[in-house]
Structure 1
Amino acid sequence: MMKTLSFTRAGLGLSGLRLSGLRLGAAALPLCLALPALAADPAGLPGGQPGGQPGGQIEEVVVTARQRAEDPQRVPVSLSVIGAQRLERAQIDGITGLAAHAPGLAVSDPFGRFNPAPAMRGLTQPGTGDEPSVGFFLDGVYVTGRSSINLFLNDLERVEVLKGPQNALFGRNSFGGAVNLITRKPGEAVEGYLEGTLGSKDLREVQAGVSGPLVPGKLAARVSLSVKDYGGFYDNAAGTDPEIGSEKSSAGAVTLRATPTDRLEALLRVSYAEDRDGQPKGYYLATNCQPRLAGGLPTGAFSQYCGEIPQSSGPFAANAQATGFTRDAWRTALTVHYELDAVTLTGISAANWETNEFNRDDDYSAALIARAGQQTVRKDFSQEIRLTSADRGQALTWLAGASWYRFDNETERRNQLYYLGQTTPGGARTAAVTESWAAYGSASLRLPLDLTATADLRWQRDDKSFASSALNAQGRPIVLDDDWTMLTPRLSLAWQALDSVMAYASVAKGAKSGGFNEMASIFDDERSFDPERNWTYELGSKTSWLDGRLTANATLFWVEWKNQQVVAASAAGSVNNFYTNNAGRSRSKGLELDLQARPLDGLTLGAGYTLTDARFVDYADPDYRDIPAFAPDGRIDGKVLPRQSRHQLAASAEYQAPLPGGASGLDGFVGGEWLWQSRQYTENSNLSWIGDIHTVNLWTGIDTGRLRLTLRVKNLLDDRTPPVAVRFSQPTPAGYQRAWLATPGDGRTWSVSARASF
């Protein structure tokens, strides 16, 4: 295996780099190939070399970005890898934390861990619908549903963030990219750890894991357990439960690894997770501009919020009827690898069950005005089988596979309008079923001049049905079904110019399945929407220098996004009237840099940076046709796509060395990171935005190899910029009115952790 770096997001300052815009013409394309020249002269860098282990050892890393084990520096895909050490040092235990450390990935979560909206390279997630634009996979198994992907992350070996469409090999709506969560596996050595954390805002957390052989050489097991209780950054001003922004999670897993022969390996993992969260943080802002027009004249009712979303530190309140978000989930997966003489047969069987309930105080106050609720029961089953050829240096390598997937999703709306005298919650009940079949393959051919051509292709058919107790215009319950067939190719050409320098070009098609809208107040012809598609073009380079102490990777991308799924407001009503339709065409282009360095033993530096210019090309928003800035047709061509930043940067540094005069084997360490994202527009009009977010985290401690004590300070500068704001409807005693719902930013927190390993 080739020595390379663990892409653990060690950081490097980019003080010498000024990027305020991007033009992807012919003159810009050589940037990806020019980066090796910069990397060859580390003195020209403002700091940086890739992370490794203390004492001069360089960590070996293998990724499965293309469904086979590979050196990440030889994979013609833009990817970031966050290793176990970075996950632990930065206390990353959810997907919003992952996004901050993997520029290009953005996660909006205005309602806490319920229904987050992940996006990659500006390909934003519509505010409705249950399928995300980025596919999440846990040990190769698709994580179904938006309210499931924000799971409590624990006992992970690494996280792979693949940028750009991954439909060809992964499918399952990996339209903008894919995130692979890889858990730790049991081995032959007896090992384990126990870690406890105490911190501000009533933070208490315990994690433990132990693994070892049950039958040496034949059967090994791993058991892990994590419990977290975070009291929430803000108190409930009503003086009662629920707490504002609190999160409680418990998770446990058992993994068995059987190796009855040298050719056969079977992994069985069963896990259970329980979440109990309080009322999500939030506050309303009244609209302040763009009055609605009637007959060309203003009506006096503002429709928009204009300007930067202001910070707020409360007070925040919720009544006792808002119980927050609860979730119980079982996940079971069996993965079998059987090695034949020239191929490996892989089978992945999975079954997952989840129930969750969300009860939000819809007016975000102590008053009894309105409550929004939803109960969900979901289960999914999948079977995948794959043949992968052995790579022994021959000209042709290949893989071929097929998969089946079924998703059953039942929901019941439990909204309650107290101001209308409603004494019990009510709402539509829906049952949706998705069944998907796919066949896929990949072939790589080594050519003269150190070129490798790869072709991937996936055929996928999705059948969906939808039944709702809501009544249509004819007074009958709504029953819908549809099916879609998608072909998603990917072609790439890689040139291994040197053993440590690779350049590549690729083109890939991404597709995200269509679906149905469940909101009550929409017209019948607004009930369904079709798949959306994109073509993504990439030019990139991956380079490694100084015996792996320095890596410098760069990618230019261009995305043409058609039949875009966007959120519109139906004229059928003013409440529960948001729906997804296909009405937009957009373009996203940008630059991704990944720099890592290790100039001294024990010192790791690095940075990840993304510049994304994502804009509407052709879209008339029906909600803007009667406001002055966009009347009479509502066209927003050229506007920036909402909820994504033009600039994202994750930079960090860490130094570990023996303490002066300390006992043998006693090391001290100190590290920090700067996470920055530029402004994000809150919605399509670009009239309001959240400001730049600067987060500085620091940690320090001592390490004996078996015992480690860590002191952390998160958000050292106490940046309270709201992380997200969305267009919404605010319930009032007089009825619903247009408003903006903002999420307050958490302030500074600290924690102390003690970890024992054996």
Structure 2
Amino acid sequence: MKTNLTTRAFVILLLTSTAGTALAQVPTPSAPKEGATLELAEIIVTARKRKENLQDVPLTISVVGADAIARTGAENINDLAEQTPGLSIKPGFGRTGGGRPSIRGMSSILGDANAAFFVDGVYIANNINSYQLDNIERVEVIKGPQSALFGRQTFSGAINFITRRPTNEMKGQAKLTVAQYDQIEATGYISGPVIEDKLLMEINARKYNFGGDYVNADNGKRELGAQNSTNVGGRVLFTPTENFEAILSVGFSKDRDKGYIYGFQGSAKNNCYNANVVGAIGTTPRASSRARGFYCGEVETLDSYAYNNDELEALGYHGLEREFYRTSLALNYEFDNDWSVTSTSAFNHNESITGQDNTLVRSTAPSLSISARTQEDYSQELRVMSPQSDRIRGLAGVYYFHDDQPEGYSVVQATGARQHFDSKDGVRSRSAFAMIEGDVTDDLTLGAEARYQKETIQDTDEVLGAANGAAGKPTNLKKAKFDAFLPRFTARYKVDRDMTLFATAAKGNKPGGFNSLPTDAQPAEVQRLRDAGLGVFDEEGAWSYEVGAKGTALDAVNYSASAFLIDWTKQQLTRGEPYIRTNGTPNSAALIQNAGKSEIKGFELDVSGNAADWLFLRFAYTYVNAEFVDFYDEVTEEIYDTDGRASRLVNGQPNPADVDGLDGDLKGNKLPQTPSNQFTLTTQVTQPLSADLDFVWRTDFAYESKRFSQVDNLNHTGDSLNVNMNVSVEAQDWTFALFARNLLNDRTPLVVTRLLDFSKPIFRPNPLGGNQLTFLRDFAVSAPRKRQFGASFTYRF
């Protein structure tokens, strides 16, 4: 029986508003190429290394398919994050940093991210923000620790790009996009048989250019944020028999970007906890306490930004130059008794050169840092799987990952000479994993998974060689070993064919490691940082618990809801430490420290469906309450200091001589870079214009509440609301679309970074005696892309 518009809309809203503490998410379906009716098609995912119906997997998974990617006009993973409740990615450092994925409040600022990217199940150690989306079949965002089956760096979740398989029929697509700010993007692929039914191939390519949308105050050109990319890839599918297949995937990408949109606010804007200046040492002010000024409240994007691009290019460099080579080979053999064995081998190679403007102000004599780094890794996974139709089923496997960062160089700004260095930094990871699942009854299924992982992380002190000479040899080889047992338990109960209940408990971890101490620091400064315990940081871990429900209603509505609790220990956070370069000038290093304990509580809800044959609606919401349970931060203690005795621990405890209070105790503070509320609202109207043409109007709203910049919770970004609109005319073999991105021209900062104002030195009391030279506090602010209008034309054959 067909349900009318009012009833269907009411059910969607009812599920949205009455989910209580339940919640979750589901994929966003989109209109088919023919006809206007949206059907609830079965969605197959591989989140547990096997093909399963999304509604049957006892996990919270968001899926964004190829049609949704096309209709939203998404360019990269940052755009896809806006379609995924519970996932936040803010690329505040352009494509140099790439933006760190934060899933359910488990954010990170420095070091490895807490969620990992995969392409067809292959771990990608580097950022993936320039990966082309034209060859994507779907993106699976899997919430909660995935360490048991996916391994390292997935203790908050995994993001898996599933690429399109070559087809047995000749087909292809070409797409051209033009938009404001000199954006032009051309993508295309062709797929078909080389030998019918036996050897299939796809080749894809992309050329992307964005001219920048902010005027550079250094030279008056509109060039900040400019990006250029070239992507070429291909896949070969070989199926000589019905039981065996081999898939070879290769990819190459090249990026060249100008400086990103990032600038210093200036210490003159500090409005709280200012330094108490009582005198001077020479011409440098002297304070009676360790406070050095702060900015409290909402931080706004700057009126202007500057980046010394001309000076970088005069030396032959850019803000970012990067080349990435990616290869993988998957072999799968299925026996006649339905047992199967799978081998996945992969090799990745990355070369990056970054040109950093250290002052970010208009200057004829800028301070530049230019450095290059090479990274390469290879991995091997071998697993065996039992028949999945059996009442008791499972899989088991072994995995090896080998990562090296063998070499690099720094550039002497004055002469352009290169100082090369060799390195023995790297990771060696070995693990074994298994899963067993059984049907206790026809409706109840219980499962257990586990991984035993051994990792060795090694680090060296890089030594710069002579200008344009031989590479300096690394010194002080250090190794740290981390062993972990990482289980996950799942339960699934089928209430009926339309509703599934599930529960999970999972442990995840992220190994510790060594801070990259500055190579340009004076030896005494490097030793000082080591003596302060900043040379190394510990492993962090988390237990995550989740209950949820997913299903369908009225044959027209998908819903998913879950509630979660995460106990997080030894969270890896950042702190900035000033140091003196070998040339006597000041600089600052961002280093990792461990917090004590944190707790995250929250829920997610995702409801989508057809209110009418012509109207698709989706509402997704995530609430996260992420707080410190046990963490003393001496950097925060300094902010409030009035007596000059703060911020130095004695035997691991706060200084007993500090009489102005324990202000560095952050129990109850919110975790940084984590929005408490996120929602996504999508409306899509589809109307036939003729027997062969459809009109589609899609609008996507993505909201995030404020994110605190640091653990002190004194300043934040404010709330953001990004609205994207896409209006298209679609035929069977072509689509013409007009789009608007950031329609409301939201200016909420992407990232606020706590730094120092090196133009404002100040002496302050040293808790160990005497005075310490430091600098007033400053904050750097990055800005989002501006409102943009454009058009695209897609031709399919």
TM-score (norm 1): 0.88
SS at match of 1:253: strand
Q: What is the Cα deviation at residue 430 of structure 1? A: 4.4
Matches within 5 A, 1:650-689: 650-659=680-689, 662=690, 664-689=691-716
Instruction: Please name the residue that 1:384 is paired with.
Output: 381
Asked if residue 504 in structure 1 is aligned to residue 516 in structure 2, the reply is no
Q: 1:269 to 1:530 in 2, by over 3 A?
A: same
1:370 to 359, 367, 372: 367
Look up the match of 1:586: 598
The CA deviation at 1:62 is 0.6
Change (3 A) 1:501 1:658: same
Say yes or no: does 1:596 pair with 2:623: no
Q: CA 1:148–1:374 in structure 2 vs 1: closer, same or farther (change >3 Å)?
A: farther
Matched, 1:495 2:507: no
Following superposition of structure 1 onto structure 2, how do residues 159-198 of structure 1 map, counting pairs within 5 Å? 159-198=139-178
Query: How many angstroms does 1:262 deviate by?
Result: 0.5
Amino acid of the residue matched to residue 706 of structure 2? Answer: R
1:219 Cα offset (Å): 0.6
1:357 corresponds to 2:353: yes
* CA contact 1:50–1:605 (8 Å) conserved in 2: no
Q: Are 1:461 and 2:454 counterparts?
A: yes
Q: Which moved more, 1:523-532 or 1:583-592?
A: 523-532
d(CA) in 2 for partners of 1:103, 1:214: 41
Deviation at 1:95, TM superposition (A): 2.2
Q: 1:469 to 1:723 in 2, by over 3 A?
A: closer
The size of the alignment, in residue pairs, is: 714
1:544 to 530, 548, 552: 552
Q: Which of the numbers 118, 123, 140 marks the counterpart of 2:101?
A: 118
What secondary structure does 1:97 align onto?
Answer: helix
CA spacing shift, 1:100–1:264, aligned 2, 3 Å: same
**1:432 Cα deviation (Å)?**
0.9
Residue in 2 that maps onto 1:23: none
Deviation at 1:550, TM superposition (A): 0.7
Partner of 1:646: 676
Change (3 A) 1:414 1:729: farther
Aligned to 2:82: 100
Identity of aligned residues (%): 29
Q: For 2:130 and 2:530, how far apart are their aligned partners in 1? A: 32
**1:117 shift after superposition:** 2.1
2:72: which partner in 1? 90
| CA offset digits 1:34-64 (Å, max 9, x no partner) | x99xx9xxxxxxxx99645344344332100
Q: 1:738 to 1:321 in 2, by over 3 A?
A: farther
* Aligned residue in 2 for 1:395: 391
Which position in structure 2 is the counterpart of 1:229? 209
Give the unaligned 5+ runs of structure 2. Answer: 1-8, 279-285, 313-317, 465-473, 519-525, 581-585, 647-660, 762-773
Structure 1: which amino acid aligns with 2:410?
R
Matched, 1:141 2:122: yes
Distance 2:503 2:684 in 1: 34
Q: How far apart in 2 are the matches of 1:604 and 1:698?
A: 15
What runs of 5+ residues in structure 1 fail to find an aligned partner? 1-9, 20-26, 40-47
Query: Residues 648 and 383 of structure 1: is their aligned pair in 2 closer, same or farther, counting only changes over 3 Å?
Result: same
The residue that corresponds to 1:7 in the other structure is none
For the pair 1:64 / 2:91, whether they are aligned, the reply is: no
Tell me whether 1:516 sits opposite 2:509 in the alignment.
no
Change (3 A) 1:386 1:244: same
Deviation at 1:618, TM superposition (A): 0.8
Match of 1:635 among 665, 668, 681: 665
2 CA distance for matches of 1:462 and 1:555?
Answer: 33
1:481 aligned partner: 479
Deviations 1:542-586 (A, max 9, x none): 111233x21111010000001221213447767333311223210
**CA separation of 1:505/1:68 partners in 2, compared to 1, >3 Å: closer, same or farther?**
same
Q: Deviations over 1:418-466 (max 9, x none)?
A: 8xx8986879864411111110010111012611001000011111111
Matches within 5 A, 1:249-260: 249-260=229-240
TM-score (norm 2): 0.84
Aligned equivalent of 2:333, options 331, 338, 350: 338
Distance 1:455 1:578 in 2: 39
For 2:746, what is the secondary structure of its paired residue? coil
> Residue 312 of structure 1 corresponds to which residue in structure 2?
302
C-alpha displacement at 1:374, in angstroms?
2.8
**In the alignment, structure 1 residue 751 sits paired with structure 2 residue 790:** yes
User: In the alignment, is residue 531 of structure 1 matched against residue 539 of structure 2?
Assistant: yes
Kindly provide the amino acid, as one letter, of the partner of residue 610 in structure 2.
Answer: R
Residues 403 and 242 (structure 1 numbering): CA distance in 2 closer, same or farther, change over 3 Å?
farther
CA distance in 1, matches of 2:495, 2:91: 43
Q: Given the alignment, which residue of 65, 73, 82 partners 2:55?
A: 73
Q: 1:293 and 1:265, CA in 2 relative to 1: closer, same or farther beyond 3 A?
A: farther
Contact 1:50/1:598 (CA < 8 Å) preserved in 2?
A: no
Report what 1:243 is aligned to: 223
Query: 1:740 matched to which residue of 2?
Result: 779
Which whole-Å CA distance do the structure 2 matches of 1:242 and 1:372 have between them? 23
Cα distance change on mapping 1:517 and 1:415 into 2, 3 Å: farther
Q: 1:109 to 1:425 in 2, by over 3 A?
A: farther
Query: Structure 2: how far apart are the matches of 1:565 and 1:748?
Result: 35
> Deviation of residue 344 (structure 1)?
1.4
Amino acid at match of 2:786: G
Q: Is the 8 A contact 2:291 2:639 kept in 1?
A: no
* Secondary structure of the corresponding residue to residue 82 of structure 2: helix
Counterpart selection for 2:182 from 174, 187, 202: 202
Distance 1:499 1:628, change over 3 A: same
The counterpart of 1:279, out of the listed 259, 280, 288, is: 259
CA contact (8 A) 1:321 1:361 kept: no
SS in 2 for 1:320: helix
Distance 2:419 2:361 in 1: 21
Q: Cα deviation per residue 1:312-352 (whole Å; 9 max; x = unaligned)?
A: 34254434233211110110101111111231111101111
Partners of 1:589 and 1:374 lie apart in 2 by 41
1:354 alignment partner AA: N
Seen in structure 2, the aligned counterparts of structure 1 residues 18 and 605 have a Cα distance that, compared at 3 Å, is: closer
Q: Decide whether aligned partners of structure 1 residues 317 and 575 sit closer, same or farther in structure 2, where only a CA change above 3 A counts.
A: closer
Between the aligned partners of 2:411 and 2:155, the Cα distance in structure 1 is 32
Q: 1:610 aligns with which of 622, 625, 630?
A: 622
1:432 is aligned to: 425
Task: Give the letter for the 2:791 counterpart.
Answer: V
Query: 1:614-637 CA distances to partner (integer Å, 9 max, x unpaired)?
Result: 011111112122222795451111
Cα separation, partners in 2 of 1:464 and 1:69, compared to 1, 3 Å: same
Query: Is residue 327 from structure 1 mapped to residue 327 from structure 2 by the alignment?
Result: no
Secondary structure of 2:214 counterpart: coil
Q: How many angstroms apart in 2 are the aligned matches of 1:655 and 1:746?
A: 27
Q: Separation in 2 of the partners of 1:571 and 1:111?
A: 21
Q: Tell me by how many angstroms 1:110 deviates.
A: 2.2
In the alignment, the residues of structure 2 paired with residue 133 and residue 716 of structure 1 have an alpha-carbon distance, to the nearest angstrom, of 31
Counterpart-to-counterpart distance in 1, 2:193 and 2:568:
50
* Distance apart, 1:743 and its partner CA: 0.7
CA distance in 1, matches of 2:628, 2:415: 42
Amino acid at match of 1:224: N
Structure 1 residues 550 and 124: CA distance shift in structure 2, 3 A:
same
For 1:752 and 1:739, locate their aligned partners in 2 and report how far apart those are by CA, in whole Å.
41
The AA in structure 2 aligned to 1:245 is: G
**Shift in alpha-carbon separation, 1:730–1:514, aligned structure 2, 3 A:** same
Question: Residues of 2 paired with 1:379 and 1:242: CA distance?
Answer: 35
- Cα deviation for residue 301 of structure 1 reads 6.2
Task: Please report how far the alpha carbon of residue 526 of structure 1 lies from its aligned counterpart in structure 2 after TM superposition.
Answer: 2.0
Amino acid at match of 2:134: N
1:568 counterpart = 2:575: yes
Task: For residue 352 of structure 2, give the secondary structure of its aligned residue in structure 1.
Answer: strand
